[in-house]
Structure 1
Amino acid sequence: MNPGDFQLPEPLSARRIVVAMSGGVDSSVVAALAARSGAETIGITLQLYDHGEAVGRAGSCCAGRDIRDARAVCDRLGIAHYVFDHASSFRTQVIDDFADEYLAGRTPIPCVKCNMGPKFTDLFALARDLGADCLATGHYVRRAVGPQGAELHRAADPARDQSYFLFATTAAQLDFLRFPLGGLPKPAVRALAAELDLAVAGKPDSQDICFVPDGDYASLVKKLRPEAADGGDIVDEAGRKLGEHRGLIHFTVGQRRGLEIGGAAEPYYVLRLDAATQQVIVGPRRALAVRAARLEGVNWLAGDYQGPMHAKVRSLAKPVPARFDGERLVFEEPEYGVAPGQAAVLYAADRVLGGGWIAGTERAE
């Protein structure tokens, strides 16, 4: 890598780079590369949640240990490090939203809401206030400059690509953001951390949603919204009762396990969740087939692009051919497991065209 990876005018010694630091290996390497470029470098960490008290485990994003790790890296690099308390906005924009989405029978993506709010909006403002020329992060995506300005592209390493979670990045934010790790595989980043003698080189990646203890999101939602524990009926599409459940929070569209329905001629899947009646509606897999989805809160990054595109409706889903008219996403072939509350992200090859939140679906049958 070289100083040009930050895509800033020369000389770099006259530039100021603010780095969003979580205390992990990725953002630490970004800070080291920024410092090595010759630019004045400042590390910023957002205190988003009291993880030690509420979660009872280490290793989550922005936990107390992670803040100490970020500070230690900055001390090692000889750069300034600031911590800002944004727990209030994180609670409102991410945690409360997470609980409310489950209560409404939708499947939330808190990482996107965090990027839309505390991480990019708040960090963006802080970096501007500090007079930065750019805000650099450790996300695995690529930023390219095309004929109409900055573009968002998938990471070179498909296994690490985070573009699905960054579809809501605005054009103004993309102009200011830099993602220097987007062209690297994770092993190369760890090797750089070791080469740079960073203490976090061997630190494991965070696997869970940062504010959810041990991955048990249902317990957290019930703690925040006790009514989430209200049970109800499991019914088929004709309204026939097939069983009972312990709360909508335990289900998502496309789910098969956990229904505990016996005597069926074929496996049942969750087709939809009705928050008004507390019903889980189930049916055979063929009933999951969706021909179109209605999107809300669309963020479009591709200007007047009119060419072919693919849509990704879950973080681990394979992109499939589709067309989009600004609100309605139509799949070339029936798509399965399309869940309200999730995001649909649109691509042209590796370029992110934009995306939106799935508000409703149209069945293929």
Structure 2
Amino acid sequence: MAKKALIAMSGGVDSSVAAYLMKEAGYDCIGVTMKLYDNEDIGMEREKTCCSLSDIEDARSVCVKLGIPYYVFNFKDDFKEKVIDNFISCYQKGMTPNPCIECNRHLKFEHLYKRAKALHCDVIVTGHYAKVVQDEQGYHLLKGVDETKDQSYVLYSLTEEQLAHTCFPLGDYTKAEIRKIAEEQGFFNAHKHDSQDICFIPDGDYMAFIEKTTGKKSEPGDFVNQEGEIVGQHKGYYGYTIGQRKGLGISAPKPYYVTEICPEENKVILGSNEDLFKTDLIADDFNWIEELAEDEVVKARIRYHQAEKEATAKKNPDGTVAIHFLEPQRAITKGQAVVLYRDKHVVGGGTIKNTNL
């Protein structure tokens, strides 16, 4: 009897080819789209977001072509609680979150995983560019072969059980190869644009989104330099992020950069580019996929698609992880993820909690 696979489909080329590859591998496939929020009915354009009504029809069309069943699961309440509300809360705390990580953690590999089990599926499948491999030590998460598309950074939260029941069929392909497969199979979305930015804020205006969602206007406050002197007024602290230079509206002999955000005092600290470099951070909510030897030097990434840098990691008694970079890193930002790598293997990752060590 063929194994069953639940394919998470967004209507894009990646998930469409993932479904095709799993069917070719002999799996009994079911295509599903997670309805996460309303978009076209509140004026969002299809080209700037995902999970739109048109995207649902695109995914359904691919499933019809492949001859597999297709369903839409309503996860809007869960998405609001786990992703949107968390996103707003993080910004209000002076952090810069990565909602894609939370969506993967709570929606794709928790709620959708539970649905897959209820449907007696053996694996859950997504169009991520990453790999899962098994050896005598267990299951491992690896980078995809296409370094320019690798998405292992946003998947670090996967547990051993989830990895054992997850498949990333695109991990051994480049993006160009995936589009070619889509062309050969006659998929009309072979050259569909990838979704960009945060899916529920397609215009990138985080402050306007937070104000609209909470019904509260942001309060202006002070820009303060490294000496504690007021040098200007900000429009609302959660409209800024660490390392930001543009949009400050301050004239000064040397460029100012955002170096710290202080929500309790409603102030934003400014400094020079040199003030942005630090060697240490504390991460919490850490998920270990592989064991790490004491004083082992690994590579660490503190931002999606940023170059990895050599670092060491130490587990603290309270469950947090102290990470020390061998060279200072620019703009380490609270709320972002730090992910550790050993060659192509993901060792683990967590959320940056503090950098003022």
Q: Same fold by TM (over 0.5)?
A: yes
Contact kept, 8 Å, 1:55 with 1:211, in 2: the verdict is no
Deviation at 1:346, TM superposition (A): 0.4
2:54 paired residue number: 65
Please give the root-mean-square deviation of Cα atoms over the aligned residues, in Å: 1.4
Distance (Å, rounded) in 2 between the aligned partners of 1:238 and 1:269: 14
Distance (Å, rounded) in 2 between the aligned partners of 1:181 and 1:243: 49
Distance (Å, rounded) in 2 between the aligned partners of 1:145 and 1:31: 22
2:92 paired residue number: 103
> What SS class does the counterpart of residue 318 from structure 1 fall into?
coil
Quick check: 287-296 or 49-58, which moved more?
A: 49-58
Contact kept, 8 Å, 1:294 with 1:360, in 2: the verdict is yes
Deviations 1:300-326 (A, max 9, x none): 000355532011011132111111012
Deviations 1:42-88 (A, max 9, x none): 11111111111234211322111111111111111111111110000
Contact kept, 8 Å, 2:259 with 2:269, in 1: the verdict is yes
2:114 paired residue number: 125
Go from structure 1 to structure 2 and tell me whether the alpha carbon gap of 1:146 and 1:228 turns closer, same or farther (over 3 Å shift). Answer: farther
Q: TM-score, normalised by structure 2?
A: 0.95
**AA at the equivalent of 1:25:** V
| 1:178 matched to 2:151 | no
Q: Which residue, out of 129, 133, 138, partners 1:144?
A: 133
Distance (Å, rounded) in 1 between the aligned partners of 2:142 and 2:167: 12
How do 1:1-365 and structure 2 match up within 5 A? 14-59=2-47, 60-227=49-216, 229-264=218-253, 266-306=254-294, 307-326=296-315, 327-362=321-356
Deviation at 1:239, TM superposition (A): 1.5
> What SS class does the counterpart of residue 229 from structure 1 fall into?
coil
Distance (Å, rounded) in 1 between the aligned partners of 2:103 and 2:336: 14
Q: TM-score, normalised by structure 1?
A: 0.93
> What SS class does the counterpart of residue 14 from structure 1 fall into?
coil
Contact kept, 8 Å, 1:253 with 1:272, in 2: the verdict is yes
Contact kept, 8 Å, 2:243 with 2:276, in 1: the verdict is yes
Contact kept, 8 Å, 2:292 with 2:347, in 1: the verdict is no
Contact kept, 8 Å, 1:290 with 1:338, in 2: the verdict is yes
1:6 paired residue number: none
Deviations 1:205-258 (A, max 9, x none): 111211113222221111113445211110012210000111112211111111
Distance (Å, rounded) in 2 between the aligned partners of 1:312 and 1:88: 32
Contact kept, 8 Å, 1:17 with 1:136, in 2: the verdict is yes
Distance (Å, rounded) in 2 between the aligned partners of 1:271 and 1:303: 34
Deviations 1:82-136 (A, max 9, x none): 1110000000111111111111111010000100111110111111111111111
Identity of aligned residues (%): 39
Contact kept, 8 Å, 1:55 with 1:212, in 2: the verdict is no
In structure 1, stretches of 5+ residues that fail to align are 1-12
In structure 2, stretches of 5+ residues that fail to align are 316-320
Equivalent residue pairs, number? 350
